[in-house]
Amino acid sequence: MTADARTADAVARAARVRLMIFDVDGILTDGGLYYGPAGEAIKRFNVHDGLGIKMLRQAGIATAIISARQSDIVAKRAADLDIEHVQQGALDKKTAFEQLLERTGMRAEECGFLGDDWIDLPILSRVGFAASVPNGRAEVHARVHYVTTARGGDGAARELCEFLLRAQDKYETAMAPFLA
Protein backbone atom coordinates (compact mmCIF):
# COMPACT_ATOMS: atom_id res chain seq x y z
CA MET A 1 0.00 0.00 0.00
CA THR A 2 1.38 3.42 -0.90
CA ALA A 3 1.84 6.12 1.75
CA ASP A 4 -1.07 8.10 0.30
CA ALA A 5 -3.34 5.06 0.31
CA ARG A 6 -2.28 4.24 3.88
CA THR A 7 -3.12 7.80 4.98
CA ALA A 8 -6.48 7.71 3.19
CA ASP A 9 -7.26 4.38 4.86
CA ALA A 10 -6.34 5.77 8.30
CA VAL A 11 -8.57 8.83 7.75
CA ALA A 12 -11.50 6.66 6.62
CA ARG A 13 -11.09 4.40 9.66
CA ALA A 14 -10.78 7.37 12.04
CA ALA A 15 -13.98 8.84 10.59
CA ARG A 16 -15.92 5.82 11.92
CA VAL A 17 -14.62 5.95 15.52
CA ARG A 18 -17.34 6.39 18.14
CA LEU A 19 -15.22 5.22 21.10
CA MET A 20 -11.53 6.08 21.47
CA ILE A 21 -9.58 3.93 23.93
CA PHE A 22 -6.19 4.82 25.36
CA ASP A 23 -3.48 2.79 27.02
CA VAL A 24 -1.71 4.74 29.78
CA ASP A 25 1.98 3.92 30.26
CA GLY A 26 3.87 4.93 27.13
CA ILE A 27 0.79 6.68 25.68
CA LEU A 28 -0.66 9.16 28.17
CA THR A 29 2.69 9.10 30.00
CA ASP A 30 6.26 8.76 28.77
CA GLY A 31 6.32 5.21 30.13
CA GLY A 32 8.60 6.08 33.03
CA LEU A 33 7.65 5.23 36.59
CA TYR A 34 8.95 7.54 39.29
CA TYR A 35 8.98 6.15 42.84
CA GLY A 36 8.79 8.42 45.86
CA PRO A 37 10.47 7.68 49.21
CA ALA A 38 7.37 5.86 50.48
CA GLY A 39 7.35 3.63 47.38
CA GLU A 40 4.47 5.39 45.65
CA ALA A 41 4.58 5.55 41.86
CA ILE A 42 4.33 8.98 40.26
CA LYS A 43 3.38 9.53 36.61
CA ARG A 44 3.68 12.62 34.43
CA PHE A 45 0.73 13.45 32.16
CA ASN A 46 0.68 15.99 29.34
CA VAL A 47 -1.89 18.77 29.71
CA HIS A 48 -2.27 19.02 25.91
CA ASP A 49 -3.35 15.39 25.77
CA GLY A 50 -5.99 16.14 28.39
CA LEU A 51 -7.55 18.96 26.39
CA GLY A 52 -7.58 16.75 23.29
CA ILE A 53 -9.46 14.04 25.16
CA LYS A 54 -11.96 16.60 26.47
CA MET A 55 -12.43 17.88 22.90
CA LEU A 56 -13.25 14.34 21.75
CA ARG A 57 -15.91 14.02 24.41
CA GLN A 58 -17.41 17.40 23.52
CA ALA A 59 -17.55 16.28 19.88
CA GLY A 60 -19.57 13.20 20.86
CA ILE A 61 -16.76 10.64 20.76
CA ALA A 62 -16.74 8.48 23.89
CA THR A 63 -13.42 7.81 25.64
CA ALA A 64 -11.97 4.96 27.64
CA ILE A 65 -8.78 3.73 29.28
CA ILE A 66 -7.61 0.14 29.37
CA SER A 67 -4.38 -0.26 31.34
CA ALA A 68 -2.49 -3.28 32.62
CA ARG A 69 -1.30 -1.38 35.69
CA GLN A 70 -3.45 -0.31 38.64
CA SER A 71 -2.92 3.24 39.87
CA ASP A 72 -4.84 5.76 41.95
CA ILE A 73 -3.08 8.45 39.89
CA VAL A 74 -4.65 7.13 36.68
CA ALA A 75 -8.08 7.01 38.33
CA LYS A 76 -7.64 10.66 39.36
CA ARG A 77 -6.50 11.73 35.87
CA ALA A 78 -9.40 9.85 34.24
CA ALA A 79 -11.87 11.54 36.61
CA ASP A 80 -10.33 14.96 35.86
CA LEU A 81 -10.88 14.32 32.13
CA ASP A 82 -14.36 12.79 32.54
CA ILE A 83 -13.26 9.60 30.82
CA GLU A 84 -16.35 7.41 31.03
CA HIS A 85 -14.83 3.96 31.00
CA VAL A 86 -11.69 3.07 32.96
CA GLN A 87 -10.39 -0.45 33.28
CA GLN A 88 -7.14 -0.83 35.22
CA GLY A 89 -5.23 -3.96 36.21
CA ALA A 90 -6.24 -5.48 32.86
CA LEU A 91 -3.40 -7.91 32.18
CA ASP A 92 -5.73 -9.66 29.71
CA LYS A 93 -6.56 -6.71 27.50
CA LYS A 94 -8.58 -8.81 25.05
CA THR A 95 -11.07 -9.70 27.78
CA ALA A 96 -11.10 -6.11 29.06
CA PHE A 97 -11.90 -4.91 25.54
CA GLU A 98 -14.69 -7.47 25.10
CA GLN A 99 -16.19 -6.36 28.44
CA LEU A 100 -16.01 -2.72 27.32
CA LEU A 101 -17.83 -3.57 24.09
CA GLU A 102 -20.52 -5.36 26.07
CA ARG A 103 -20.95 -2.42 28.49
CA THR A 104 -21.11 0.21 25.75
CA GLY A 105 -22.96 -1.70 23.06
CA MET A 106 -20.27 -0.66 20.57
CA ARG A 107 -18.90 -2.88 17.83
CA ALA A 108 -15.13 -3.36 17.57
CA GLU A 109 -15.01 -1.59 14.20
CA GLU A 110 -16.48 1.56 15.83
CA CYS A 111 -13.56 1.74 18.25
CA GLY A 112 -10.08 3.18 18.08
CA PHE A 113 -7.16 2.24 20.31
CA LEU A 114 -3.85 4.00 20.94
CA GLY A 115 -1.29 1.52 22.28
CA ASP A 116 2.44 0.92 22.18
CA ASP A 117 3.44 -2.54 23.39
CA TRP A 118 2.86 -6.23 22.83
CA ILE A 119 0.19 -6.40 25.54
CA ASP A 120 -1.89 -4.02 23.40
CA LEU A 121 -1.88 -6.24 20.30
CA PRO A 122 -5.09 -8.15 21.15
CA ILE A 123 -7.02 -4.85 21.05
CA LEU A 124 -5.07 -3.25 18.20
CA SER A 125 -5.82 -6.26 16.00
CA ARG A 126 -9.59 -5.98 16.61
CA VAL A 127 -10.45 -2.29 16.50
CA GLY A 128 -11.48 -0.42 13.38
CA PHE A 129 -8.75 2.20 13.92
CA ALA A 130 -5.45 1.14 15.50
CA ALA A 131 -2.77 3.70 16.34
CA SER A 132 0.60 3.84 18.05
CA VAL A 133 3.41 6.22 18.95
CA PRO A 134 6.94 6.47 17.49
CA ASN A 135 8.39 4.89 20.63
CA GLY A 136 6.04 1.91 20.32
CA ARG A 137 7.33 -1.58 19.58
CA ALA A 138 8.07 -2.58 15.96
CA GLU A 139 5.54 -5.45 16.14
CA VAL A 140 2.89 -2.90 17.08
CA HIS A 141 3.85 -0.50 14.27
CA ALA A 142 3.50 -3.33 11.77
CA ARG A 143 -0.15 -3.79 12.75
CA VAL A 144 -1.53 -0.26 13.13
CA HIS A 145 -3.18 2.17 10.73
CA TYR A 146 -1.56 5.32 12.10
CA VAL A 147 1.59 6.29 14.03
CA THR A 148 1.72 9.72 15.63
CA THR A 149 4.73 11.97 15.18
CA ALA A 150 4.69 12.91 18.89
CA ARG A 151 6.04 10.41 21.40
CA GLY A 152 3.94 8.91 24.16
CA GLY A 153 3.55 11.40 27.01
CA ASP A 154 4.64 14.28 24.76
CA GLY A 155 1.38 15.12 23.01
CA ALA A 156 0.73 11.90 21.09
CA ALA A 157 -2.81 11.56 22.44
CA ARG A 158 -3.56 15.19 21.52
CA GLU A 159 -2.24 14.63 18.00
CA LEU A 160 -4.45 11.57 17.67
CA CYS A 161 -7.49 13.43 19.02
CA GLU A 162 -7.00 16.19 16.45
CA PHE A 163 -6.58 13.56 13.70
CA LEU A 164 -9.93 12.01 14.70
CA LEU A 165 -11.67 15.39 14.86
CA ARG A 166 -10.39 16.30 11.39
CA ALA A 167 -11.35 12.90 9.95
CA GLN A 168 -14.88 13.40 11.28
CA ASP A 169 -15.11 17.05 10.13
CA LYS A 170 -15.48 18.15 13.77
CA TYR A 171 -12.18 20.00 14.17
CA GLU A 172 -13.44 23.50 13.35
CA THR A 173 -16.44 23.08 15.65
CA ALA A 174 -14.13 21.87 18.44
CA MET A 175 -11.90 24.92 17.91
CA ALA A 176 -14.74 27.48 17.75
CA PRO A 177 -15.03 28.15 21.52
CA PHE A 178 -11.34 29.02 21.66
CA LEU A 179 -11.53 31.46 18.76
CA ALA A 180 -14.50 33.50 20.00
Q: Is pLDDT above 80 for 40?
A: no
Domain count, the chain: 1
| % of the chain exceeding 90 in pLDDT | 87
Tens-digit pLDDT profile for residues 146-168: 999 999 999 999 999 999 999 99
Cα distance between residue 153 and residue 29, in whole Å? 4
**7 contacts: CB under 8 Å, gap ≥ 6:** none
Tens-digit pLDDT profile for residues 88-144: 999 999 999 999 999 999 999 999 999 999 999 999 999 999 999 999 999 999 999
pTM recorded for the entire structure: 0.95
Q: Is pLDDT above 70 for 1?
A: no
pLDDT at 112: 98
Cα distance between residue 155 and residue 30, in whole Å? 10
Cα distance between residue 17 and residue 112, in whole Å? 6
Q: Is pLDDT above 70 for 3?
A: no
At residue 36 the predicted structure's pLDDT band, cuts being 50, 70 and 90, is: confident
Whether the CB-CB separation of 146 and 10 falls below 8 Å is answered with yes
pLDDT at 4: 67
Cα distance between residue 43 and residue 20, in whole Å? 22
At residue 39 the predicted structure's pLDDT band, cuts being 50, 70 and 90, is: confident
- Supply the range of the domain harboring residue 145: 3-179
CATH of the domain at 132: 3.40.50.1000
